[in-house]
Amino acid sequence: MFLCKQKKLLSNELLNYNSKIQIYKTIIRPTLTHGCESWALTTSDENQLYIFERKILKIYGPKQNSDGTWRIKTNDELRLRMNQEDIIKFIKSQRLRWAAHVMRMENTRTTRKITE
């Protein structure tokens, strides 16, 4: 239900692209990746996340070539336009951040003991 309402919001023509991408960065992506530090991602999971992100980035629409034809933007073009790493790289960086946090914990902490 949450994503359905966000989809309607992102397809609204009254919002500009910058507002839509800000909604994605501040509401949708954090909700989607909550707790991602402990996920064990399979290739299938990664593909599902890529597909989801690609659907969100459709807000940028097609690109017109110099000869007047239209084409769908590539994933790299969309990432450059969004000016942010893709969702899988984001999740992996969150995991590394969490691992560094655990390693800085005192040796007596349960989380540190379990990790080691």
pTM above the 0.75 mark? no
- Domain hosting residue 95, numbered range: 19-115
Mean pLDDT of 82-98: 87
10 assigned to some structural domain: no
Q: Kind and range of the H or E element at 63?
A: strand 63-64
Q: Identify whether 95 is part of a domain.
A: yes
Number of domains in the chain: 1
Once rounded to an integer, what is the mean pLDDT over residues 6-12? 68
Which pairs from 99-106 meet CB under 8 Å and 24+ separation?
Answer: none
In a domain, 14, yes or no: no
Which of 45-49, 67-71, 99-103 has the weakest average pLDDT? 67-71
Domain assignment present for residue 3? The answer is: no
pLDDT at 7: 64
Q: What percent of the chain has pLDDT over 70?
A: 91
In a domain, 91, yes or no: yes
Q: Where is pLDDT greater, at 43 or 60?
A: 43
Q: Considering the domain boundaries, does residue 6 fall inside one?
A: no
| Residue whose C-alpha is closest to residue 39's, from 84, 106, 90 | 90
> What pLDDT is stored for residue 5 in this prediction?
64
